[in-house]
């Protein structure tokens, strides 16, 4: 695990000082060492968090004659099998690290090496003979990679802050990224908030040579090839085996490891599998709130007691928002998911005791764990009655967002929208009509017709899924999972030099889930049917059958009481209003309605605060030129 960075410029030799600054900017991702390699037009760099082959796995790593060099961020869980296969074909290994298999796999399979990997990764590989750079990213996007080719020179890095160590990259905001952010709460790939910078999408490679760059996708989930002749009992047994295997292979480590434990089904399943495969007690870590509606610690303790773990807890209070500036700097782009706060604190707590932490990320997206899947399943089936909804959709909004009339109007309006937009109504922070009221006319003109809903529309229309439930899962895996959940955990953990591993994001397990009939995942409004059956004799009934509780923050109460004045102080400040994005009167309306409990605008207010914080801490802050000697 580490951070990687690099430059490619065929007009002259790579700049070693720039490369060193890029690495130093990511020292938190890998405090155990720095490696750099310059070879004519290319420079490769990395900051290492040593977990496998601690003594001998420093990077970059080369093939036998030094003509192929690689840097890797991540872990390859099948590297021992690959190493044995490659050794049988005559390849010689100089280390015991997983990284080294990449150079030999490339010699055997070229760019198709990514199809042989089982793990989480972002890598950069330089082929000196072909004068060619290959970047690759794992199937679901657990490890990030930013890149830009402005000015004929390609630069890449694990974090945007590292990329911006190059002063030639203009810090110009992309209006489309802001529009997408206000809708989704994050900036989706391949966009970046900075114009001219891109995020390499999951399951993609980028090949760069003197002719230019080419991005290609190498994998996607297939929802068409369904398992036939498999009963529910057999499917549940196979699922348990896959969860056990995906967890077991993620236990390889030469440093201490533990697990995040929320008390939900997914993290509890991972802890159960860890307990079954470890000879010592599992170290588990949880975080909670003083407000019971947001606190899951009692369920986490129940699981910790069941599996006799070494359990630790941390509690978040309103003053925790003091880390907002720090969050903005680490995330690099506007990021509105409020669960980034407890995630950040949980990672800090956990890093005091272990270097690797397993988690339950991905279970909801593969097995229909969110309540919106049930609502969407019903709503989208009702779209055949769309004409009946037209009169109801024209009802006046009314004074209260939560009134029966407002809800009826909202549901009727959804019947008239394209299916991905109707589904998106359960996801969007600001829906289209709300963004139209919020954005200034001058800023809206700069969007050139781009709308945040199109981010969902592309994956929806290109999905291979034929059933509604599967299509919603597919869209979320390509958008929400890749753009929100995975960056949230990657940034929170790597900010504290902690590696996060996610058994439910094992692509073999995910392919099995995609191949299951949708009815085994979602029936009516009830999700995770097959997962609950698979774990029925493993986890306590109270864990399996309780309502899902999001890993959220009690913002609704905080913005009415403890932090009542914060939104107006920040969002109505002249500096914020002078940016010209947003209309003052709409911000005032949101704050007033929330204060008076006419509506819960807490997520919208939080999103605007995070956008403002990003401007203050990143876009408008002086460029911090990191000392290349750091680390």
Residue-level pLDDT at 381: 72
pLDDT band with cut points at 50, 70 and 90 for residue 329: very high
In a domain, 396, yes or no: no
Tokens linked to 82: 């690959």
Residue-level pLDDT at 101: 97
In a domain, 8, yes or no: yes
Tokens linked to 477: 């895996």
In a domain, 164, yes or no: yes
- Using CA atoms, how far residue 494 sits from 69, 252, 488, in Å, is 24, 19, 10
pLDDT at residue 482 tops 60: yes
Least confident of 104-113, 153-162, 323-332, 402-411: 402-411
Residue-level pLDDT at 45: 97
Does the pTM surpass 0.85? The reply is yes
pLDDT digits (tens, 9 = 90+) for 351-384: 999 999 999 999 999 999 998 998 888 777 766 6
Residue-level pLDDT at 544: 93
Alpha-carbon gap, residue 549 to 292, rounded angstroms = 11
- Using CA atoms, how far residue 168 sits from 155, 157, 306, 623, in Å, is 11, 15, 56, 11
Alpha-carbon gap, residue 262 to 267, rounded angstroms = 6
Coil, helix or strand for 386? helix
pLDDT at residue 388 tops 60: no
In a domain, 132, yes or no: yes
Read off the CATH number of the domain in which 162 is found: 3.60.20.10
What's the total number of domains in the chain?
1
pLDDT band with cut points at 50, 70 and 90 for residue 165: very high
Residue-level pLDDT at 149: 95
Q: Are 189 and 199 contacting, i.e. CB atoms less than 8 angstroms apart?
A: yes
Residue-level pLDDT at 551: 57
Least confident of 43-47, 242-246, 392-396, 609-613: 392-396
Catalytic residues: 2
Alpha-carbon gap, residue 531 to 529, rounded angstroms = 6
Residue of higher predicted confidence among 226 and 629: 226
Give me the domain span that covers residue 93: 2-173+192-217
Dihedral pair phi/psi, residue 183, rounded to 5°? -80, -50
In a domain, 445, yes or no: no
pLDDT digits (tens, 9 = 90+) for 263-312: 899 999 999 999 999 999 999 999 887 666 556 788 999 999 999 999 99
- Using CA atoms, how far residue 263 sits from 2, 134, 240, 301, in Å, is 29, 41, 18, 7
Residue of higher predicted confidence among 552 and 42: 42
Range list of β-strands (E), 99-192 = 119-127, 132-137, 146-148, 154-157
Residue-level pLDDT at 406: 61
Q: Give the pairing type, strands 257-260 and 283-289.
A: parallel
Residue-level pLDDT at 384: 65
Q: Are 601 and 594 contacting, i.e. CB atoms less than 8 angstroms apart?
A: yes
In a domain, 310, yes or no: no
pLDDT band with cut points at 50, 70 and 90 for residue 385: low
Residue of higher predicted confidence among 582 and 412: 582
Range list of β-strands (E), 180-240 = 197-199, 204-209, 212-217
Count CA atoms closer than 13 A to 593's CA, side-chain side: 18
Residue-averaged pLDDT of the chain? 91
In a domain, 485, yes or no: no
pLDDT digits (tens, 9 = 90+) for 203-257: 999 999 999 999 999 999 999 999 988 889 999 999 999 999 999 999 999 889 9
Residue-level pLDDT at 525: 76
Residue-level pLDDT at 526: 84
pLDDT digits (tens, 9 = 90+) for 5-38: 999 999 989 999 999 999 999 999 999 999 999 9
Residue of higher predicted confidence among 471 and 386: 471
Q: What contacts 597, CB < 8 A, 6 or more positions away?
A: 560
pLDDT at residue 596 tops 60: yes
Residue-level pLDDT at 55: 76
pLDDT band with cut points at 50, 70 and 90 for residue 54: confident
pLDDT digits (tens, 9 = 90+) for 569-593: 999 999 999 999 999 999 999 999 9
In a domain, 181, yes or no: no
């Amino acid at each position: 695990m580490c951070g990687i960075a690099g430059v490619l410029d065929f007009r002259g030799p790579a700049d070693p000082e720039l490369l060193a600054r890029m690495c130093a900017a990511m020292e938190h991702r890998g405090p155990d060492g720095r490696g750099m390699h310059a070879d004519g037009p290319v420079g490769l760099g990395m900051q290492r968090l040593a977990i496998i082959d601690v003594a001998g796995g420093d990077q970059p790593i080369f093939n036998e004659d030094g003509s192929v060099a690689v840097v890797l961020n991540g872990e390859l869980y099948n590297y021992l099998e690959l190493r044995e296969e490659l050794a049988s074909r005559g390849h010689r290994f100089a280390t015991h690290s997983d990284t080294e298999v990449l150079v030999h796999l490339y010699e055997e399979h070229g760019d198709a090496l990514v199809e042989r990997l089982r793990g989480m990764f972002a890598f950069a590989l330089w082929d000196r003979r072909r004068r060619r750079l290959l970047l690759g990213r794992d199937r679901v996007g657990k490890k990030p990679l930013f890149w830009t080719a402005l000015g004929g020179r390609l630069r890449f890095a694990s974090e945007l802050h590292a990329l911006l160590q190059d002063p030639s990259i203009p810090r110009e905001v992309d209006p489309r990224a802001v529009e997408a952010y206000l809708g989704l709460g994050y900036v989706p790939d391949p966009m970046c908030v900075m114009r001219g910078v891109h995020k390499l999408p999951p399951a993609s490679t980028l090949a760069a040579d003197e002719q230019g760059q080419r991005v290609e996708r190498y994998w996607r989930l297939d929802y068409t090839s369904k398992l036939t002749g498999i009963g529910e009992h057999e499917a549940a047994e196979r699922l348990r085996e896959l969860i056990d295997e995906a967890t077991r292979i993620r236990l390889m480590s030469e440093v201490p490891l533990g697990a995040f434990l929320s008390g939900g089904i997914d993290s509890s399943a991972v802890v159960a599998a860890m307990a079954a495969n470890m000879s010592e007690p599992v170290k588990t870590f949880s975080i909670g709130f003083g407000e019971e509606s947001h606190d899951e610690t009692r369920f986490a303790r129940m699981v910790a007691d069941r599996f006799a773990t070494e359990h630790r807890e941390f509690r978040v209070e309103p003053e925790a928002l003091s880390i907002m500036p720090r969050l903005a700097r680490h995330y690099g782009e506007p990021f509105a998911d409020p669960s980034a706060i407890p995630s950040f604190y949980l990672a800090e707590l956990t890093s005091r005791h272990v270097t690797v932490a397993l988690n339950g990320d991905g279970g909801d997206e593969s097995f229909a764990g969110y309540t919106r899947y049930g609502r969407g399943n019903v709503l989208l089936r009702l779209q055949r009655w769309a004409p009946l909804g037209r009169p109801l959709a024209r009802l006046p909004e009314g004074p209260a967002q939560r009134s029966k009339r407002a809800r009826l109007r909202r549901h009727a309006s959804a019947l008239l929208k394209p299916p991905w937009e109707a589904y998106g109504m359960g996801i969007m922070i600001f829906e289209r009509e709300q963004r139209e009221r919020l954005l200034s006319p001058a800023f809206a003109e700069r969007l050139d017709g781009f709308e945040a809903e199109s981010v969902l529309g592309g994956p929806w229309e290109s999905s291979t899924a034929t059933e509604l439930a599967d299509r919603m899962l597919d869209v979320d895996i390509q958008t929400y999972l890749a753009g929100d959940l995975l960056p949230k955990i990657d940034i929170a953990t790597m900010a504290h030099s902690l590696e996060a591993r996610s058994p439910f994001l094992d692509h073999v397990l995910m392919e099995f889930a995609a191949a299951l009939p949708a009815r085994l995942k979602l029936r009516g409004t009830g999700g995770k049917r097959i997962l609950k059956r698979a774990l029925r004799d493993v986890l306590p009934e109270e864990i399996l059958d309780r309502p899902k509780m999001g890993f959220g923050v009690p913002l609704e109460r905080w913005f009415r009481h403890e932090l009542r004045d914060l939104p107006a102080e920040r969002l109505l400040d002249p500096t914020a209003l002078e940016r010209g994005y947003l209309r003052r009167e709409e911000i005032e309306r949101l704050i007033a309605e929330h204060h008076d409990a006419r509506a819960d605008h807490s997520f919208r207010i939080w999103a605007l605060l995070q956008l403002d914080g990003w401007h203050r801490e990143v876009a408008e802050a002086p460029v911090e030129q990191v000392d290349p000697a750091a680390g």
